[in-house]
Amino acid sequence: MEDWINIMPEIFSTYYQSPVGLLKISGTEHFISEIVFIDNIEKPHGDHKKKLPPIIINCIEQLIQYFHGERRFFDFALNQSGSEFQKKVWNELIGIPFGKTISYLELARRLGDAKVIRAAASAIGKNNIVIVVPCHRVVGSKNDLVGYSGGIWRKKWLLEHESKIAHGVQTLF
């Protein structure tokens, strides 16, 4: 059992105060596993003065660039736990262009079957790497803002932010 414990990668976490709220960022030395909205900074367990790996620092820098309108794509390694179907959905989300949206139905069609719309929506709700895996780019059939774990106001903000950068100043909603 002790050998198993020793091979588990160490998880590092930090926080970034973004324009849309506090983000908790977690990962190992090799990948980011979590970027989620939180309300309060959690008290650290163990040695909280450990140096953050370069990938987490790079993630924060890229998020800052995104919020400043200087970045449209993220280029660090991701590893999110989930089923094969969830991973397929998350990979489709990454393919949605910056400043664009698709409907849940269109996402299901891209996955190969319009009938998986509810399962795809459920997988989107389990996405733990917000912004980078852009679940905010999926909207309702009538272009309405529905279903965002970070709150509809954040979804609206993110979509308007991307639209301003991609297409000049305009309002989507």
CB 33 within 8 A of CB 76: no
| Amino acid (1-letter code) at residue 24 | K
Nearest to 86 by CA among 128, 29, 135, 126: 126
Which domains can be identified in the chain, with CATH numbers?
2-67 (3.30.160), 84-167 (1.10.10.10)
Which of 20, 116, 135, 139 is the catalytic position?
Answer: 135
| Spatial distance between the Cα atoms of 22 and 60, rounded to a whole number of angstroms | 12
Establish whether 135 is a catalytic residue.
Answer: yes
Residue type (1 letter), 82: G
Per-residue pLDDT tens, the chain, 173 aa: give them: 555 555 778 999 999 999 999 999 999 999 999 999 998 887 665 555 679 999 999 999 999 999 999 999 999 999 999 999 999 999 999 999 999 999 999 999 999 999 999 999 999 999 999 999 999 999 998 888 888 888 999 999 999 999 999 987 655 55
First to last CA, the chain: 54
pTM (two decimals):
0.87
